[in-house]
Amino acid sequence: MLDLLRGSRRRGMAGGHFRSNVWDPVLILAQILCMQSFFYTSLGLWSSVIGSDLFGGVDRSLDQVFNNANLDILDIIGRTAVIAFALNSLTCAVGMWYIVQRTKQCLDFATTMYFIHLVSCTVYMGRVPQTVSWWVVNILCLALTTVFAEFLCMRTEMRAIPLNSAPRADL
C-alpha cells in the first residue's frame, strides 16, 4: 500500500513541484483507505489497552468502537472509551502527518475519516447515533485530530531548506 502511495506521488510531481495541480484519485483513495484502516486499528488497540488492562472489567467487542451507548461519560466504561477515542485522535494525527503530509488536506481527511466512522456506526447499530455524548466526543476528536495533524504537517512544511553557501570550486 505504501508503494502505491509513493508511486502515485512520483507520478503527481509535474515540473519539479510536489503534487502541483495534478488530480490523482488513486492517491486520494489509497490515503483514505490507509487513514481509515489506521483509525480503526489504533482505536481497537487503545480500547483494548485502556479498557482491558487498566480497568479489567471491560469486555472486548465491536460495541466499544461502534455503539454510541458506550460513550457515556457518567460510568467508568464510558470514560475509558472517551480516553481511548482521545488518544486515538492524537495517534491518527501522527498517522495523517506520515500518510497525507499536507497541511491543507488535514481537515478534509479528518472529516472524511470521522464521516466514514459515522456511517459505520449507523450501519452497525441500524440507526444514526442519538446520544449527545457520542456527537460531542466525535466532534471534539475530529477537531483534535485536525489541529494536531495540521500542526505536525505545518512544522514539516515550514522546515528551512538548507542552502549550500560555500564557494564553488569548479569555477
2: its cell numbers:
505504501
Q: 44: which strand partners?
A: none
What b/e sequence results for 14-41 when a residue is b if at least 16 CB atoms lie within 10 Å of its CB, and e otherwise?
eeeeebeeeeeeebbebbbebbbebbbe
Task: With a cut of 70, say whether residue 46 has pLDDT above it.
Answer: yes
The enclosing H or E element of 99 equals helix 76-99
CA 110 – CA 32 distance, rounded (Å) = 9
Task: Name the pTM for this structure.
Answer: 0.76
Enumerate the domain spans of the chain. 2-13+22-153
Question: pLDDT (tens digit, 9 = 90+) per residue, 121-170?
Answer: 899 888 898 888 889 999 999 999 999 999 999 988 887 677 766 666 66
Question: pLDDT (tens digit, 9 = 90+) per residue, 66-106?
Answer: 777 777 777 777 788 888 899 999 999 999 999 998 889 99
CA 164 – CA 147 distance, rounded (Å) = 34
